[in-house]
A and B are shown apart, each in its own frame.
Chain A
Amino acid sequence: MSEAKTQEKKYPAPQGNPETQAFWDAAKQGKFMIKRCTACGEAHYFPRSICPFCFSDKTVWEGSSGEGEIYTFSLMRKSPTGPYAIGYVKLKEGPAVQTNFVDCDLGALKIGQKVKVVFKPTDGAPLPFFTPV
C-alpha cells in the first residue's frame, strides 16, 4: 500500500455549539486546544464543560503541544474518496484523540510513531488531523 497517498478531500464544517465554540475559534488561529480540570488536574478531549472524571465544573481551556504518538490505526483500503487511515493519537498531555493521518505514506504508519497536529480547511473552522513528524 505504499502507493496509498493521502488525497485532498472536502471535509464537513464543524457546526460548533456554545460549549465548544472556543475550540473552533482557536483552530482558526492554528491552535489545538484541550480542556483541563482545575479540581482533579486531569486533561480531557473532546472538550466538555463538566469534567468527565470528577464531574467538577472547574474546567479551563489549555493550548496543547499538538504532539503525540499513534496509539492505533486502521487503513481503509477503499472508499468513495479513496484510502484513508483512522486512528487514535495519545497526546503528550495525556488524552487520546480520534483523527485521520494525512500528508504521508499511509502504508508506512506504525503504532508508536511520533505525530503532530495539522489543520485542514473546511467551509467553516479548520479540522485537526495528524501527520508523522
Chain B
Amino acid sequence: MTIKGQAYIAGIFEHPTRHAPDKSTAQLHAEVAKGAIEDAGLTIDDVDGYFCAGDAPGGAWPMVDYLGFNTKKLRHIDSTETGGCSYIIHIGHAAEAIAAGKCSIALVTLAGKPRTSVMPPRAAGAEVDFEAAYGATTHNAYGMCAMRHMHDYGTTSEQLAWIKVAASHHAQYNPHAMLKDVVTVEDVVNSPMISDPLHRMDCCVVTDGGGALIVTTPEIAKSLKKPLVRLIGHGEAMKGPRGGKDLDLTYSAGVWSGPRAFEEAGVTPKDIKYASIYDSFTITVLMQLEDLGFCKKGEGGKFVADGNLISGVGKLPFNTDGGGLCSNHPVNRGGMTKILEAVRQLRGEAHPKVQVPNCDLALVHGTGGLLGVRHAASTAVLERV
C-alpha cells in the first residue's frame, strides 16, 4: 500500500497580502480557498474533503460552516495540528484518504493575522510546570540548536548567513515579498543579536496572509487544465526531549520523516532539482538539509555557503519565492507556502529569474513546534508528470 502517484495537487493560491488590518482571519481563509479552487478550475460544491490546522478560527466545524461547503457531499475532515508543518502532513493525509476512496477533492487552507490581531496561546502539555517559567520562544529554542551545532561541528554565523543571502537573492524577483532587498553575509552578521547566536536577519518575517491548495485524484487532475503535479512520497515524525535521555539538539525529526518520503518515492536527495525547506530561522534550514541527507551531519555550513542554495548559481536551488526569511510566513507557519512554491516550480510558473530548468522533481520539508524543545517534521516528494 502506498500513496505514490495516487494524489495530485491541482490548485494552489498564495494570498498576496502581508499586512491585512482590513480583513478577518476567517475571511482570509475564504479568500485563499476561493483562489485555490478557482486555480484548479473547480467550485466549492465539488470539494468533499477539508483539511485545516490550529490557525483556523474555532477549528474545522465553524470553518466548514462559514466557508459554505456542500455538507451533503463533504465526507472527509482532518484538523491535524503540528504547527508550521501541518499542511505538509495534510497533503500526505489527503493522499491517503484519496487512495482509500474517502474523498476525491480535498481543500487545505492556512490563514491568519499575527501582525494585526492577537494570536491564541499554544495549549499547555504535561510539561507545563517544568518549562513554562523558562520562557522558551521560537527565537531561543532555535538559538539553543544553533549554539550546540556550532559547538559540535564548528558551524559559523557566516555560514548560516548564506541561507538568508540566498533567500534574498530570490525575493528580489517576488513582487509580493515583504523584504525585497538583496543582503550580504556582512549585513546578516552585523544585524542585531536577538537570541544568541541568532541575529535579526537569521529570523523569518512575521506576516498576515495565507495560502490554500487542492489535492485530488489522478483522473480528476487529468480532466483539469493545470500542469500535472503529483505526490510520490511522504513522511512524518516527531521528536522531543523524551525524559531528557541522550538529548541531542543538533538533529531534527527530519532524520525520520525524510527517509520515509524518499523510500516511498524511490528517489534520493541527489535526484531533487528544487527544494522548499522551512526557513523559520537560518539554522532550521541547515539542520534539515543535513537531516534529509543533502549533506553529511555537521557539513551543512559548508553546503549552504557560497551561494549553493541560489537558483542558477548553486547545486540546490531552495525557496525561490524568497521563503519565510524574506517573502512570507503567514501566521508563523511556513509549511503551506513551501508547498505552493514547489508546485510553481514543477508547473514552470516560478519567476523566470529563479525558475529551475526542466524542474520535474521537488522536495518539500518543514518542521512545526519548537525545534529545540519538541517538534514535528514532514517531508513530501512531488513530481511533474
A interface residues, Cβ below 8 angstroms from B: 11-12, 14-17, 20, 24, 42, 44-46, 48, 51-53, 71-79, 84, 86-88, 90-91, 94-100, 111, 122, 127
The answer on a CB contact under 8 Å between A71 and B135 is: no
- 5 additional A-B pairs beyond A74-B146, A88-B144, A95-B243, beta carbons within 8 Å, are A48-B126, A74-B147, A76-B194, A78-B194, A122-B133
Chain B residue with Cβ nearest A75? B196
The answer on a CB contact under 8 Å between B151 and A75 is: no
List the A side residues contacting B373 at CB < 8 Å: 98
Contacts A44-B243, A74-B143, A87-B144 given: A98-B151 contact, CB under 8 Å? no
A42 to B140, CA, bound (A): 29
Chain A residue with Cβ nearest B247? A96
List the B side residues contacting A87 at CB < 8 Å: 144
The answer on a CB contact under 8 Å between B147 and A73 is: yes
Interface residues of B in 107-136 (CB under 8 A from A): 126-136
A98 to B245, CA, bound (A): 12
Chain A: minimal CB distance from B155 (Å): 13
B interface residues, Cβ below 8 angstroms from A: 126-137, 139-141, 143-148, 151, 192-198, 241-245, 247, 249, 372-373
Chain A: minimal CB distance from B250 (Å): 9
The answer on a CB contact under 8 Å between A90 and B129 is: no
The answer on a CB contact under 8 Å between B134 and A75 is: no
The answer on a CB contact under 8 Å between B144 and A52 is: no
List the A side residues contacting B194 at CB < 8 Å: 76-78
A94 to B176, CA, bound (A): 49
A79 to B140, CA, bound (A): 12
Contacts A15-B129, A86-B144, A111-B147 given: A99-B134 contact, CB under 8 Å? yes
The answer on a CB contact under 8 Å between B243 and A48 is: yes
Closest 3 pairs (CB-CB, A-B): A74-B143, A44-B243, A95-B244
- Of B130, B137, B143, B198, which contacts A98 at CB under 8 A? B130
The answer on a CB contact under 8 Å between B132 and A12 is: yes
List the A side residues contacting B130 at CB < 8 Å: 20, 45-46, 98
The answer on a CB contact under 8 Å between A95 and B144 is: no
Chain B: minimal CB distance from A129 (Å): 8
The answer on a CB contact under 8 Å between B247 and A16 is: no
The answer on a CB contact under 8 Å between A71 and B243 is: no
Which of A11, A15, A95 has the most chain B CB atoms inside 10 A of its CB?
Answer: A95
A95 to B247, CA, bound (A): 8
The answer on a CB contact under 8 Å between B135 and A84 is: yes
The answer on a CB contact under 8 Å between B132 and A111 is: no
The answer on a CB contact under 8 Å between B243 and A76 is: no
Contacts A44-B245, A71-B148, A72-B147 given: A98-B132 contact, CB under 8 Å? no
Chain A: minimal CB distance from B129 (Å): 4
The answer on a CB contact under 8 Å between B243 and A72 is: no
List the A side residues contacting B141 at CB < 8 Å: 74, 86
List the B side residues contacting A14 at CB < 8 Å: 129
9 contacts between A and B (CB under 8 A): A46-B126, A71-B247, A72-B147, A74-B141, A77-B195, A88-B241, A94-B244, A96-B245, A100-B135
